[in-house]
Chains A and B, each alone.
Chain A
Amino acid sequence: MLSIKDLHASINGKEILKGLSLEMGAGEVHAIMGPNGSGKSTLSKVLAGREEYEVTSGTVTYKGENLLDMSPEERAHQGIFMAFQYPVELPGVNNTYFMQASLNAIRKARGEPELNSLNFMKLVRTKLKALEMNEALLKRSVNTGFSGGEMKRNEILQMILLEPSLAILDETDSGLDIDALKMVSMGVNSLRSPERSMLVITHYQRLLDYIQPDYVHVLSGGRIIRSGDKSLALELEEKGYGWLQEEAAA
């Protein structure tokens, strides 16, 4: 599904990712954990195609193609979805209109018929129910004046609508209370399937109680310094990141 080899990336001339490698197979859920400043968010932004980040060396192959050659919208068309750590407010842009435009842009790029408003609304309503989301949020401007929990639910709703092949969750758990966290996890778990891979980026082990990863990686100083199964997350919870960083330095 996704193969990252020796990835170096920088922003404003400052190198953040310093030789990151990661292999993800179809159907796998990978968690990336790491302290602040380790490069977690940079990784997600590079994968989603944020142009401010410059990839200086290394490769990223997605479904056999060079991901780094694709524009952000092409990546979305190819099935990549990133749930933003800080979803962006779009004043004056109606949430339903936005989601319909998004789904239809992707369907169009894939040569599938676009959904009319009526059919789109039917689809959204079924997905909303599963997330226990308030329909009123659909009528408002995208993320404008939303609470933190509402924004994250809105991200998950988009993810469920777009049914990506590779979902990247960038610290989706930050700032969430336990109910919202459960809801978000439920949404994510409902999408788990043998064809779909997920990259869950988080600072805390807490989220991984609800979304059980197949693999856990520790990111520090722009590189993955340790990989393991979900027991690694528990170990980190207990001991913190310090021991691994010391080991890596040694």
Chain B
Amino acid sequence: MSAALLDHYQTLAATAPKAHAYQAVGQRRLSLVELPNRKQEAWRYTPLAPVLDYQFAAASREDGLLEPEDVAALRVTPADHVCIVLLNGFFMPELSSLPAQTGLEVLDLEQALQTSATGIERLGRLSGECLHLFGAVNAALTGAGVYLRVTEKLVQPLELIHINYSFDSEVLSNPRVLVQVEAQASLTLIEQHAPFADVLGMHNGVTEIFLSEGAELLHPRLQNDSLRTRHLSSLYVQQAASSVYKNTSLALGSAWSRTEFHLDFSGGHAHCELNGFYLAGEQQMQSMHLDVLHSVPDCSSRESFKGILYGQGKAVFDGNILVKKDAQKTDARLSNDNLLLSRDAEIDTKPRLEIYADDVQCSHGTTVGQIDPEMLFYLRARGIPKAAATSMICQGFAAELIAHYEYPALETKALSILQERLAPVAANL
């Protein structure tokens, strides 16, 4: 089976249109790579059948499938803001809102590659030799996606909506998002993965973010894919001196989801904040993987992840922070807190700090708990029925994290999805 699957992806790679030299890196990797398996540390607790039991076919651009009104219903930003729609990974100008904005370039990735847009040569520099099969597939199929370059401090947030929707089953979306925030420039990038149809497919996205000196990127993300979607997001971030990156990622949807954060500092006094929340219910697996590398001195990072699990939901938290010998004065705090609502739910949590410098402030902590009976009694004593009280405690647990979005319309949307998912669960506890 494994040989057939590798053959399948190698054939996809060989027949893909060639747009960029980086595709060769992916193709080469595909001929060497092993299938992800549970003997590998990075996949140790991750069930793999949901993604390895299928031979996903590469998506192609489909025009006329959706109308702008379909997108309007999903948006959280006002209509006059820039909103980019990627349909099955492909940039769709007719579904996007692209008002001209000084200090911002938005290009279809294919077009950026063809015209050798400024900075596009960075593509692949962070994802490099590709960590695994799906990274290699993404690289080998490079073409779909979007390139963003920011040269000023932008006040208006930019919205990026991924929609996976096709009449075919087992389609693989394969976007690459490349973001370049130039020195002293700043951007809020609101990213949504929105459900559209309950089709079994896979999202295999790679995002590379380059923050130049003093640049700032706020990056709230909401993954609410349909419950049959397989979702893999690999995020690579490189931060130059004094830059700030703040990512808040919610994983609520999809049957199988993995979010990888690969973060690297290249200059001092940079700060990064990664916040994550996952909700895993029946037939769901959510996983969060962090690789934060402190290789230069004087940088700080905060990693705060929370999850709620119910039914037979499963989640994996694998948080690694590596502080290299020269990274003195590093300040890193990692936490992972989990709320389990059922006996059958499972969390595998593995926070890890590896420190080779001697003058650092680092900490990590993990909790796994259930609904606090004191809290439940307090709410019930105030007349709130047990189910509503349970739901309220869960909402509160998540709300603390969701507040990091710093964008009320997205917070409201996330909380209402959560409420809708948790209310029936709480009623049956």
Residues of A within 8 A of B (CB): 48-52, 71-73, 75-77, 81-82, 84, 87-88, 90-94, 98, 101-103, 105-106, 109, 141, 158, 162
Contact = CB atoms under 8 A, between A and B. Distances in A.
Contacts of B396: 90-93, 141
A160 B419 CA distance: 29
A104 to B, nearest CB: 9
B388 A105 contact: yes
Contacts of A50: 377
B50 interface: no
Nearest to B389: A73
Nearest to B394: A92
A231 to B, nearest CB: 33
Interface in B375-409: 375, 377-386, 388-389, 392-393, 395-400, 403
Contact of A82 (B381, B399, B403): B381
Q: How large is the interface on B (under 10, 10 to 19, 20 to 34, 35 or more residues)?
A: 20 to 34
Given A52-B373, A93-B395, A109 B382 contact: no
B383 A105 contact: yes
Given A71-B386, A73-B383, A76-B383, A93 B377 contact: no
B70 interface: no
B338 to A, nearest CB: 15
B374 interface: yes
A90 B378 contact: yes
A162 B381 CA distance: 12
Nearest to A88: B378
B386 A102 contact: no
A73 B385 contact: yes
Contacts of B389: 73
A101 B384 CA distance: 7
Contact of B380 (A71, A81, A93, A98): A71
B398 A72 contact: no
Contacts, number: 81
Given A105-B384, A105-B388, A158-B382, A92 B397 contact: yes
B267 to A, nearest CB: 35
Nearest to B374: A88
A100 to B, nearest CB: 11
A90 B375 CA distance: 7
B392 A98 contact: yes
A91 B397 CA distance: 7
Given A73-B386, A90-B396, A105-B384, 14 more contacts: A52-B373, A73-B381, A73-B383, A73-B385, A73-B389, A76-B382, A81-B381, A88-B378, A92-B395, A93-B399, A101-B392, A102-B382, A141-B396, A162-B382
Contact of B384 (A73, A82, A87, A94): A73
28 contacts: A49-B377, A49-B381, A52-B373, A71-B380, A71-B386, A72-B381, A73-B381, A73-B383, A73-B389, A75-B381, A76-B380, A76-B382, A81-B381, A84-B378, A90-B392, A92-B396, A92-B397, A92-B398, A92-B399, A93-B393, A94-B399, A98-B379, A98-B392, A101-B384, A102-B382, A102-B383, A105-B385, A141-B400
Would you list the 8 A-B pairs with minimal beta carbon distance, nearest first? A92-B396, A76-B383, A93-B396, A92-B399, A72-B380, A102-B382, A88-B378, A106-B383
B383 A77 contact: yes
Given A93-B399, A105-B385, A87 B378 contact: yes
Nearest to A82: B381
A185 B395 CA distance: 34
B275 to A, nearest CB: 13
A105 B386 CA distance: 11
Contacts of A101: 384, 388, 392
A91 to B, nearest CB: 6
B127 to A, nearest CB: 35
A162 B383 CA distance: 10
A50 B386 CA distance: 13
Contacts of A88: 372, 374-375, 377-378
Nearest to A141: B396
Contacts of A90: 375, 378-379, 392-393, 396
A49 B381 CA distance: 8
Nearest to A102: B382
Contacts of B377: 48-51, 72, 88
Nearest to B392: A93
B381 to A, nearest CB: 5
B402 to A, nearest CB: 9
Nearest to B306: A92
Contacts of A103: 383
Contacts of A51: 377
Nearest to A168: B381
Given A92-B398, A93-B395, A93-B399, A76 B386 contact: no
